[in-house]
Amino acid sequence: MNYQKSKTCLTLLFILLLLFSCKYSDEDERKSLGIDESIYAEHVRSAEFQSPEEEMRDFILPPGFEVTLFASEPDIGKPINMAFDEKGRLWVSQSFEYPFAAEPGKGKDRISVLEDTNGDGKADKITHFADDLNIPIGLVPVKGGAIAYSIPNVYRFWDDDGDDVADRREVLLGPFEHKDTHGMVNNLFRGFDGWIHASHGFSNISRVSGKDRDSILMVSGNTFRFREDGSRAEKTSDGRINPFGSDYDEMGYHYSADCHTLPIYQLIWGGNYSQWGKQTPNMGFAPEMMDYGLNSTALSGLVYYTDNQFPEAYRNSFYSGDVVTCRISRNTMEFQGSTPKASRQEDFLISKDPWFRPVDIKIGPDGAMYVADFYNRIIGHYEVALDHPGRDRVSGRIWKITYKGNQRPVQDWSKSNLESLIQGMGHSILQIRMTATDVLVEKFGEKAIPELLKLIQTESISADQMVQVHWALFRLGSLSEKHLLHAMGHNNRNVRLHAYRILAEYPDLSPALKNQALKDITDQDPHVQRASAEMFSRRPGMDTYEALVKVHSAIPSYDTHLDYTVRMALYHHLRLPAILNKAVNQTWNEQESKLLALVVSDIPSQASADFLLAHVQQYPESDARKTAFAKSMAKGLKGAKRGELLAWAKSLEATKPMVAYKYSQAMAQGFLEAGEQAPAAYQDWQQSLATAILSNATVRSGQDEEEKAALVFAMQTAGIYKMIGQKERLLAYLDHAQVQEDVRAEAGKSLMLLAPQTFSDHLGEIMTDNHVAVSLKRKLAPALGIWDDDRARLALARGLKNAPPELQESIAATLSKNSRGKTVLLEQIQSGNASARILTAGSVQESFLSGISPAQKQQFQRLTENLVPVSEERQQLIDKRLASFEPNNEMLISGGKVYEQHCGLCHQMDNKGGLIGPQLDGVGNWGKVALATKILDPNRNITENFRTYNIAMKNGQSNSGLFRRDQGQTIVFANQVGEEFAISKAEMKEMAPSKFTLMPDNFHAVLSEEEFKALLSYLLSKK
């Protein structure tokens, strides 16, 4: 650190070091410290381990803030989640096992209770509550013990004798899937409603139920809640990738962090959020509150500071941990209507020690910030092998951050009498109000009701206290309709909106409550409007959906959260058959009809489809909407209505012939998802469209994306229906050297479907033509594989000789799909026409070994036994490429083009590109070693969410792809060029996981060294 060499500063530094604290008194000094950002790019940190005292010196904080060590190894293990109890003690889940789950019954991880008994700011009493756990994460203290997750269940732990050690436990929920261990069930907290809320983490698929046996299904990122006794569990939102961090504000809004999409979401109850593999609903995904990221894909821990111990400028701020760039970010928000809009502020804490891993953040009852530090050389779950010896399994720290020593005395609420607890429910600090309310309900129960009822009728009660009293009375089953109606009409906004949050918990609404709610859906305050709409979303009724339709038209365009909440409320109404059947038979004006059409298009049913058909016949819609509706109608329409659908689609062809094919494709997908074959009349129309497109198009170069998509549709249709009359047209496209490769490849595929006997030799000639680009040949190889005949196999075999490695791999992958092809491939390798190395390529080896004969297996082993292992060979290539690499800004343009060509179809960056693979915002922070490894050796460490599947069909054919979603009577996969394809469940024989990722494993051969350097320079610039 560049401290001034004055005696005063040296003295100050000495004092600070003695106090184990780090404090900066000058903003310029903080900025001048200088940090080499490259240290955060290493997946395996090259910096050495530091003691807690050494690490603490590397923290950079705003002026006036101090950090002290609250606890560290060996007293605690590696902390994951934290929670405070009513006594002000900190409970911490820790793991030595992570990331490998222990065998059942052999876990040695623990939950500990940490207490500062002498007020010196450091935990001096540590009790291990449970020490036989298996990667425990989420935890929450409750009366008589705790509730916590430990593989594979959420348990209720009981401390029967009060010694802070668990004496017994019972399963509340589970088992949860745990194939991926770095998210699982995390960040438990008790909400205003008294339920325990939790997040479900990355990749795992879990179906669990409470004691009522009403199960919920969670796929990867979700949030859910459950009763403390395990009697019931409910999903509260669906989607996102790996939520890890939760908090709430005074209005009761739930905020959640997500590692892989955006740092902060304000969740809408029942909201459907974006997730890898999810199909975007016609209604769209739930809205976001941020239009920027934090240049990281590893955010964990989230708090919204509502205390008063930080300066005003640092209150009402979100604090997020970043375990890759080793800092805590700060964001603020303002509301536009009911919609929060986040604004990025200067990072709150930065560590110069790249081992600092802030996995959880909590605000203590003293107003201080507590940070769980999973101190480690390695944090990545898939970027680095799980068994890498550099993973630290014992070091962990908890840091305490205060402002100029500000620290409110901690009160032990468990010892408080009823009067003190009621006073606490009116405290100015939200966390204290919540704690006092929870203790009152748990400790005094029904005995507290008379005093609460007396208080609620006094004029001196504050709005904050009234909110807590209402919730307490509700949790105790004693909130009368009279008091709730009074709250719904209160002059304070928070009292009114919390009344609706309480009302949403009621199983039934009385006429008086319902009538008041219908009035308040037009409340002048958008937050109250939204709370009312959310209540109706959870409590749909036959006589309430019309009010939602009416109010929607008045919602300002900027209030995206209110807009979505009202649409989601309508969705939850209309998915009930009785309400749907009533609504679709009413008369609506154009604006109302468009709203209903959008909502019902996501509800598969005959009634929805009938309404959509009538709607599109009467009112105009955008081409995109009509295409989406066409699919929904095809799924639901029956009998003569299908003829009307076809007539409607044909009527659009005359004015927009280049758009009509999209309706055709959408309808085809709808029929497929319904598990039905397209009607003959529809098939005839599809062929007519294909003929028109091919006849009217000019065989030339330079087609735009719209023309290209139409041509591909026409060619695919010609192949499927064997439209032999189009063969000359298809041949012209195949042979035109200036036509785009994708179009030429599609033409070749269609010709092989039309007349393989005629065109296999022609494609074979292209495969051996030295003037044809290797990239086109690679795309044509699968086309030759369509024909199960030796003429096609020999045409492929001729293409192997003198071919570059990437083309040999493509040909080998095609030949490996059947037994005869495997024999041909082995013969070519033995003849010296191809390298034996291609047998070990990711796209070849698995299919080659599947169903292999003993003789073929013997040949395979003989040919590959002396090869250098792929991992070793790839590492040598990586080392060689990096030895001569230096980031070059002059290569950014060419690198961007390489990225767009090879990566952009599957990956999204800056909101551009596909969502087949992970988003790459901030990918430059990975550093050159990690990026080079991922590009050149993608199968080294595979994320479970991106593992491909080998698909065996009942007709003997095979395929492979990345699982995206289960959709009706089909399963949707994605291929290596980012295209989705659907396979009928009825036609599938088996779906087996592969040991390879979808990411192409041939960039080592496909990319020249200059292209590789350009791509790497481009990616490193994205920070």
CATH homologous superfamily, domain 66-403: TolB, C-terminal domain (2.120.10.30)
**Residue 759: what are its φ and ψ, rounded to 5°?**
-110, -5
User: Do 319 and 329 meet the contact criterion of CB atoms below 8 Å apart?
Assistant: yes
Q: Is the pTM of this model over 0.95?
A: no
User: Which pLDDT does position 343 carry in this prediction?
Assistant: 96
> Which DSSP symbol is given to 415?
G
For 894-1020, which CATH class? mainly beta
Q: What is the DSSP string of 652-709?
A: HHTT-HHHHHHHHHHHHHHHHHTT-PPPHHHHHHHHHHHHHHHHHS---S---HHHHH
Helix, strand or coil, per DSSP, at residue 493: helix
CB hemisphere CA count around 542 (13 angstroms): 5
User: Which pLDDT does position 933 carry in this prediction?
Assistant: 80
Placement of tokens 């090869």 in the chain:
867
DSSP3 helix / strand / coil % (the chain, rounded to 5)? 40, 20, 40
Q: Where are the domains of the chain?
A: 66-403, 772-867, 894-1020
What distance in Å separates the CA atoms of residue 42 and residue 743, rounded to the nearest whole number?
42
Q: Do domains 66-403 and 894-1020 have the same CATH topology?
A: no
Tokens of 306: 């509502």
Burial of 51 (0-12, 13-18, 19+ CB in 10 A): exposed
Q: Where are the beta strands (DSSP E) in 74-195?
A: 78-84, 90-95, 109-115, 125-133, 139-142, 145-150, 153-158, 168-173, 185-190
Beginning with the edge strand found earlier in the chain, give each strand of the sheet holding 233-238 in spatial order. Answer: 185-190, 196-200, 222-226, 233-238, 271-272
What residues in the chain have per-residue pLDDT under 70? 1-33, 294-297, 382, 915, 925-926, 940-945, 956-958, 976-978, 995
Whose CA is closest to 688, among 662, 723, 719?
723
Longest dimension (CA), the chain: 96
Q: Positive or negative, the Cα torsion across 945, 946, 952, 957?
A: positive
Which secondary structure element, helix H or strand E, spans residue 332, and what is its range? strand 327-336
Whose CA is closest to 1008, among 871, 889, 894, 873?
894
Helices (H), 542-589: 545-552, 560-574, 577-583
What distance in Å separates the CA atoms of residue 38 and residue 348, rounded to the nearest whole number?
20
Tokens of 776: 């086109």
Helix, strand or coil, per DSSP, at residue 639: coil
User: Which pLDDT does position 322 carry in this prediction?
Assistant: 94
Whose CA is closest to 731, among 690, 774, 694, 686?
694
CB hemisphere CA count around 42 (13 angstroms): 16
User: Do 188 and 138 meet the contact criterion of CB atoms below 8 Å apart?
Assistant: yes
User: Which pLDDT does position 43 carry in this prediction?
Assistant: 87
What distance in Å separates the CA atoms of residue 913 and residue 916, rounded to the nearest whole number?
9
What is the b/e burial string over 599-619, where b = at least 16 CB atoms within 10 angstroms of the residue's CB? bbbbbbbebbbbbbbebbeee
Report the amino acid identity of residue 373. D
User: Which pLDDT does position 934 carry in this prediction?
Assistant: 81
User: Do 586 and 573 meet the contact criterion of CB atoms below 8 Å apart?
Assistant: no
